[in-house]
Amino acid sequence: MRPGPRRSSRSLVVPALLFCLLVALGGTPALSAGAEGPEPSAEVARLLEEASAASLHYEQGRRAAAVQQARARRLERLLARERREIAALHDDLGRIARAQYRSGGDIPLTAQMLLSDRPEELMHGQRAVWQADLAVNNAVEKSRRAELRLAAGQRTAAAAWHSLRARNVRLARLKESIGTKLESARAQLQSEADGSVAAGQCRGPVRLRQPKFRTTRAWLPPVASYQLSAGFDSAGAHWAHRHTGQDFAVGIGTPVRAAGAGRVVSVSCGGGFGIEVVVRHPGAYYTQYAHLAAAAVDQGEKVAAGQWLGQAGTTGNSTGPHLHFEVRLTPYLGSGIDPVKWFAERGVRL
């Protein structure tokens, strides 16, 4: 399939408590587990959810680490400025001391006043020197405290940044582990789906736990995140005539959702479309979802916009994992219209 431009709709919100489940790579599956282990459809759904949560926490940790690193750098700049100011104050203090030595040396102030022709000016100058000394000493002490404070802050920021980096390393390893398990679960899911298609018998709907998803939109893309591949009416050796729908390149097990509210008119297995679901919508339009790895609904069921209908796969006449999506004027092949234009007329840009 030829990849096209990437379009994404808002991802499903991942529950905050899911991160606790990631640590043990466990959690409640989306479908009750049998004696032989979790059902492949549910296992893929669970692992996809965990991978999404791990990615979310990884990105949060990466952004937090960047903030800590920037804070440490700011503190370093402040510390360098404070040190320059302290050095300047020390220079001023040295000049004052040298000026005081030249004006009187080690001669006591009382003797200087007795020997001076203008004792009032000497007294005034000495008072200015004392005030300057006091100001410099106060400034030096203040800068010293600031330097200690900034150095402590720098150490704290650096420690936090290193801690976040270590956390992200752990999350990266977790993501890799989830990915390995996900590939295994996807292979098992597709294998069972291929068996159903070969036999021409659907094994019944896989009742996946539906997401807590609410939308005020009447229509939305059939998958949350995707890459467009083969388009409507495109030509190719893979099709007998022309391509009858729009393909969405997604991985095996990706949740496929209803593009709008309606009623399921058919769920079938076998043939070129593999496992497929057809939904009738108000206005006498039909949508088809084909090459699925599993169906999560049954014929006659009402569905809401965004409700999961099944999981993407590569059953039937398919060269790789994707969702084949059609908008039809009837439930039957041959009545399809361009899904991209149809969605655009309803305010949805693919």
Angle subtended by helix axes 119-199 and 40-104, to nearest 10: 170
Q: What is the pLDDT of residue 13?
A: 34
Instruction: Find the angle CA(210)-CA(42)-CA(36) to the nearest 5 degrees.
Output: 145
Of 16-20, 182-186, 191-195, where does mean pLDDT reach its minimum? 16-20
Q: What is the pLDDT of residue 256?
A: 96
Query: Looking at the predicted structure, is the pLDDT value of residue 150 above 50?
Result: yes
Mean pLDDT value across residues 156-161? 75
Query: Looking at the predicted structure, is the pLDDT value of residue 240 above 60?
Result: no
Query: Looking at the predicted structure, is the pLDDT value of residue 102 above 50?
Result: yes
| Average pLDDT of the chain to the nearest whole number | 77
Q: What is the pLDDT of residue 23?
A: 37
Cα 54 to Cα 28, 165, 187, 250, 308, distances in angstroms:
16, 15, 22, 19, 22
Mean pLDDT value across residues 7-36? 38
Q: What is the pLDDT of residue 321?
A: 94
* Total Cβ atoms within 10 A of residue 227: 17
- Return the higher-pLDDT residue of 274 and 93: 274
Of 36-50, 216-230, 321-335, where does mean pLDDT reach its minimum? 36-50
Mean pLDDT value across residues 304-308? 93
Q: Which of 66-75, 202-211, 285-294 has the highest mean pLDDT?
A: 285-294
Q: Which of 111-125, 133-147, 199-213 has the highest mean pLDDT?
A: 199-213
Q: What is the pLDDT of residue 45?
A: 80
Tokens found for residue 79: 């510390």
